[in-house]
Amino acid sequence: MVRHLIVIVLALAMGVSAIHASGNSITFKIPPVMIPLKIKDQQATIVASAIITLVAQSRGLNTLKLEFTADLSNLQRNMTGLLSSALDKDDRCGDRIDIQNATLTPVDPAALATVQLHYERWVCAKLFGKQEDKRLIGGNAMIQMKLTPAVEENNTELRLVLELGPVEADGSLGELLRSGTLGEVLRDKIQSAILAALKKGTDLSATLPSAVQGYVTIQDAQFKDSGSGRLAAVLDGEGRITNEQLQALSKEIKERIASR
């Protein structure tokens, strides 16, 4: 009973609508943050928000639970541009890659990347003193990859676990994409481009108040359908902070709300 009253008094002292007291817990709602993501000449955004819940108090330390959500729908709309920036090539005597279309759709707890591209490999040689360009292979292809978020051992960063899906391609290009070095290189670049965007959108330091930065670790991560095929990344975390940091957290949230 005493602890319940302490929680209520603390919540009233904080005095802001984004903080809600219930039972023995206090919930802090972190207002959405717009995280810019430059893709080619376009400016995309990832909208990140968080809920921090005070779940236990002991000897001046407060145990927190974190639910962090990043809305990736704007990234979905710019997937073709994102992968074009990372993969497009036009080497006269080498690989020529043109990303024609790319999508990223939720398949909880993962996401399915579908990439349509045109690929050609050219060689250049001198024949009888004359430069000749010759196409060795070329055609259109469709690659599907299932990407599942996972948490690195340091509990602060994410990675993507890749599972190769169907590959459709013209002629002998299919074999190169399924089992050759070309397929590995393309998959690595696709995975890396999506992961880089995901890491930027889920960077806790860009969203959480400074009072808890460095004190919260990520325990679980997954992709979710937030409705109508809109992709979201949801992270669950935990941390411990002092009473002074708890007060600082409240103050920072108030200031953010006041400045909106």
- Whole-angstrom Cα distance, residue 230 to residue 146? 16
In order of 48, 60, 64, 149, 235, the CA distances from 155 in angstroms are 19, 24, 15, 13, 11
| Residue 195 and residue 160 share a domain | yes
Mean pLDDT of 105-113: 97
Q: How confident is the model at residue 18 (pLDDT cuts 50, 70, 90)?
A: low
**Residue 127 burial by CB count (10 A; 0-12/13-18/19+): exposed, middle or buried?**
exposed
Beta bridge partners of 67: 51, 236
Mean pLDDT of 134-152: 97
Whole-structure pTM value: 0.89
* Cis bond upstream, residue 109 (ω within 30): yes
Asked whether the predicted pLDDT for residue 128 surpasses 80, the reply is no
Asked whether the predicted pLDDT for residue 58 surpasses 70, the reply is yes
Residues spanned by the domain of 148: 75-200
Give phi and psi for 128, each to the nearest 5.
55, 40
Q: Which residues of 225-234 are buried (b: 16+ CB within 10 A; e: fewer)?
A: ebeeeebbbb
Q: Please give the tally of structural domains in the chain.
A: 2
Q: Report the percentage of the chain scoring pLDDT > 90.
A: 79
| Residue 185 and residue 103 share a domain | yes
User: Which range (9-13, 173-177, 192-196) has the least confidence?
Assistant: 9-13
Residues 6+ apart with CB under 8 A from 209: 30, 248, 249, 252, 253, 256
| Residue 192 and residue 79 share a domain | yes
Asked whether the predicted pLDDT for residue 5 surpasses 60, the reply is no
Q: Report the percentage of the chain scoring pLDDT > 70.
A: 90
